């Protein structure tokens, strides 16, 4: 038996998590999937996709509103109606399924209300539940506790924990019955079914309470996506991304444009303007392009940015269950991608650091390093001669008076391979004279 916890808002990240969990449960050949739910609701498209996943699952799904005092409002109620088995713990609540706008205002137009209420009714009838109550969840924002829900045939079981749930389920059978008209209905029955219709599927839960319980562990990617698809995070990413991009375009070279672009791409994915797969491809393509540009330019930052893009793309990578991969293989692929990208990011980060230090160091070659260097006159300069500066012999020209052999000199300029020098005492006195003049001027002021 496989246990999945759904205790946040329902977003596209939740859909990815449910798909991943279903794939693992299929590979494990689990007898039952229990979805422990405590949610305020979520985005309608994500809810609809999960409902479809529940209905088409080859493994029966039990949605369990848990723990005690929890709620499955709005989108959670839709999922409850689409599950094969509906259960609630003591003190829990379901209902308030009327759709709302992103601003929090209720949607009252008949087009949306009729569509969603009929959707909920049809799923309820498909599982032999109260269609009238299902419609009231949307049209009247009906709320029910576990006793009322059980009495009105909205749920099948009340239990305070998973072992109690399995104990009450043990001995029952989930069957799919087809009527003469061809419509199918799921029913949870005790013993043999003697009603009307032809039994198409029969799944017995004998000794289910003795089955091994395995918890689904969400991956790092799931947590990452839950953060990205949070409505508050989406808005903040779009706002900061837009302004950072503008700042980067005005003051290029500090990386603001790169950070702003990444945030804008993530926000567009979060708003579902672009899909997760497209976002993943964009990050991989951008990352490899920046790394190739780094190899050509040796800037340092481009490689670091490219590795960061590949890491983001790796976090978005979700092998599909249709690939028929074992769970451990899927996890191994993700870990290898993330580990490789992290190593690349660390390497290029170190490279950026070394480049920054190199740029900050004093120049050690060229004409700049010779200026203000001191040496000694090897031959008399009148005005041309020879000097030794920094351990090397140079042809030099004296600026001003002639310089005797052995006199200390200072380099004041350079013309190709010819150094322009002055006697060090003369240079010092010249500077001193300038300072004296400056002092005299200050006194006159």
What's the burial of 197, exposed, middle or buried (CB within 10 Å: 0-12/13-18/19+)? middle
Strand arrangement of the beta sheet that strand 143-144 belongs to: 71-73, 93-95, 143-144
Tell me the average pLDDT of the chain: 83
Round to whole Å and give the CA distance between 86 and 127.
9
Which residues, 6+ apart, have CB-to-CB distance to 312 below 8 Å?
262, 266, 283
What are the pLDDT digits (tens) for 111-127?
999 999 999 999 999 99
Rg (CA), the chain: 37
pLDDT at site 367: 57
Region 289-296 average pLDDT: 78
Low-confidence winner among 80-89, 208-217, 242-251 (lowest mean pLDDT)? 242-251
Instruction: Please list the helix, strand and coil fractions of the chain in percent, rounded to the nearest 5, in that order.
Output: 50, 20, 30
pLDDT band at 434; cut points 50, 70, 90:
very low
C-alpha distances (whole Å) from 339 to each of 226, 330, 358 are 21, 14, 29
pLDDT band at 320 (very low <50, low <70, confident <90, very high): very low
Separation CA 50–CA 135 (nearest Å): 20
- Interval 185-227: pLDDT, tens: 999 998 777 677 788 899 999 889 999 999 998 877 777 788 8
User: What pLDDT shows up at residue 192?
Assistant: 73
CATH class label, 2-170: alpha beta
The model carries a pTM of 0.67
Q: What's the confidence (pLDDT) of residue 331? A: 58
Kindly give, in sequence order, each residue whose CB lies less than 8 Å from that of residue 166, ignoring residues fewer than 6 positions away: 1, 208, 209, 211
State yes or no: pLDDT of 439 exceeds 50. no
Q: Which class in CATH covers the domain with range 367-431?
A: mainly beta
Q: What is the mean pLDDT of residues 228-245?
A: 85
| Three-state DSSP state, 75 | helix
Each residue of 393-433: pLDDT tens digit? Answer: 899 999 888 898 989 999 988 888 888 999 986 444 444 44
Distance between CA 370 and CA 259 in Å, rounded?
41
pLDDT for residue 332: 64
Sign of CA dihedral 256, 259, 260, 261: positive
Burial of 362 (0-12, 13-18, 19+ CB in 10 A): exposed
119 vs 322, higher pLDDT: 119
At residue 444, does pLDDT exceed 50?
no
Taking the C-alpha atoms of residue 39 and residue 80, their distance in angstroms, rounded to an integer, is 11
In angstroms, rounded to a whole number, what is the distance separating the alpha carbons of residues 420 and 399? 6
Place of tokens 């540009």: 293
The sheet that has 184-190: what strands, in order across it? 184-190, 172-178, 198-204
Which has more pLDDT, 301 or 443?
Answer: 301
Q: Find the mean pLDDT for residues 241-246.
A: 87
Report whether 239 contacts 264 (CB < 8 A): no
Q: What is the pLDDT of residues 126-150, one digit of tens each?
A: 999 999 999 999 999 999 999 999 9
Question: Would you kindly state where each structural domain of the chain is located, as residue ranges?
Answer: 2-170, 220-360, 367-431
């Amino acid at each position: 038996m496989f246990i999945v916890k759904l205790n946040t808002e329902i977003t596209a990240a939740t859909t990815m998590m449910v798909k991943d969990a279903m794939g693992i449960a299929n590979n494990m050949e689990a007898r039952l999937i229990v979805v422990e739910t405590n949610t305020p609701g979520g985005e309608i498209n994500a809810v609809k996709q999960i409902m479809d996943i529940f209905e088409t699952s080859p493994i029966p799904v039990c949605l369990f509103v848990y723990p005690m005092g929890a709620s499955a409002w709005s989108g959670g109620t839709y999922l409850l109606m689409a599950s094969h088995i509906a259960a609630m713990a003591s003190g829990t609540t379901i209902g308030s399924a009327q759709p709302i706008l992103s601003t929090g205002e209720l949607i009252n137009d008949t087009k949306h209300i009729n569509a969603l209420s009929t959707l909920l009714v049809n799923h309820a009838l498909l599982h032999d539940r109260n269609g009238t109550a299902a419609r009231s969840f949307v049209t009247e924002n009906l709320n029910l506790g576990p006793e009322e829900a059980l009495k009105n045939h909205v749920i099948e079981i009340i239990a305070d924990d998973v072992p109690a749930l399995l104990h009450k389920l043990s001995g029952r059978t989930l069957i799919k019955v087809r009527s003469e008209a061809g419509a199918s209905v799921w029913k949870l029955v005790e013993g043999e079914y003697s009603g009307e219709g032809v039994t198409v599927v029969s799944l017995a839960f004998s000794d289910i309470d003795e089955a091994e319980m395995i918890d689904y562990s969400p991956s790092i990617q799931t947590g990452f996506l839950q953060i990205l698809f949070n409505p508050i995070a989406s808005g903040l990413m779009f706002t900061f991304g837009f302004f950072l991009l503008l700042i980067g375009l005005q003051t290029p070279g500090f990386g603001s444009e790169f950070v702003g672009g990444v945030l804008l791409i993530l926000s567009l994915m979060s708003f579902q303007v672009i899909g997760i797969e497209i976002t993943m491809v964009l990050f991989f393509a951008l990352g490899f392009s920046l790394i190739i540009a780094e190899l050509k330019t040796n800037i340092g930052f481009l490689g670091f940015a490219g590795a960061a893009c590949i890491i983001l793309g790796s976090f978005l990578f979700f092998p599909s269950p249709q690939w028929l991969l074992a769970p451990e293989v899927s996890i191994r692929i993700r870990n290898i991608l993330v580990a490789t990208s992290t190593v690349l990011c660390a390497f290029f980060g170190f490279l950026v650091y070394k480049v920054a230090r190199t740029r900050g160091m004093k120049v050690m070659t060229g004409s700049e390093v010779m200026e203000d260097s001191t040496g000694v006159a090897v031959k008399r300069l009148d005005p041309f001669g020879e000097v030794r500066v920094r351990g090397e012999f140079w042809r030099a020209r004296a600026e001003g008076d002639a310089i005797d052999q052995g006199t200390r000199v200072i380099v004041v300029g350079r013309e190709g391979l010819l150094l322009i020098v002055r006697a060090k005492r003369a240079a010092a006195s010249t500077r001193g004279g300038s300072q004296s003049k400056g002092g005299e001027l200050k006194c006159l002021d």
